Homo-oligomer: A and B are copies of this chain.
Amino acid sequence: MPRAFAAGDDELVEAEHLIRDRMSGLNLDLLSLAAVSNVFRTATAVRNRMERDVLRPHRLSWSAFVVLFVLRIWGSQESRSLATEAGISGGTLTGVLDTLERKGLAMRQPVPEDRRRVEVALTPAGTKVVNDVMPAFNHEESLVTGDLTEDETATLASLLRRVLRTAEDLDGR
């Protein structure tokens, strides 16, 4: 095993080498490619775990939970900001809110001074769901970062924060 790779890394790194070999001639920035594609692969793997182990028992979709979570942390707000905050489109939010209202976890309220707008709030049942799910969610988070030291976990968060920041700035936000 090459000394340059930490134990357990070689299998994943192999995929990156394969890409290099099959894509030579395209002059790719392999460092960025590895970092970004690992962001995607990690997000997918962890998300699949959480959907299966935490969300499915509660009959909750990923987006539905994100919406509940945003309402729990940032409080009641109108649809538009809620969609932005949850990272979904307005059209999608309509469907998600229909589902959440049907389950009695969130509620829409008219805004008196502007009849186009809608205020969305958590019901007590919705608040309870977030309070129940969050610890289970967080437990999964602890598990998957379990191989990292505290310093490394903090470094990971910080590096990702900078990538996220860069992506958002590029979008001219």
Give residues in A with beta carbon < 8 Å to B.
Answer: 6, 8-9, 12-13, 15, 18-19, 22-23, 26-29, 31-49, 72-74, 87, 131, 134-135, 138, 141-148, 150, 152-168, 170-171
Contacts and interface: CB of A to CB of B under 8 A. Distances in A.
A88 to B, nearest CB: 9
A35 to B, nearest CB: 4
B43 A8 contact: no
Given A18-B73, A22-B72, A163 B138 contact: no
Contact of A158 (B9, B19, B41): B9
Contacts of A37: 141
Given A28-B138, A35-B156, 17 more contacts: A9-B161, A9-B165, A23-B73, A29-B141, A29-B142, A31-B154, A31-B157, A32-B153, A38-B160, A38-B164, A39-B46, A45-B164, A45-B167, A49-B170, A144-B166, A144-B167, A144-B170
Contacts of A22: 72-73
A15 B36 CA distance: 23
Contacts of A163: 42, 46, 144-145, 147-148, 156
A8 B157 contact: no
A111 to B, nearest CB: 24
Contacts of A72: 22
A138 B15 CA distance: 16
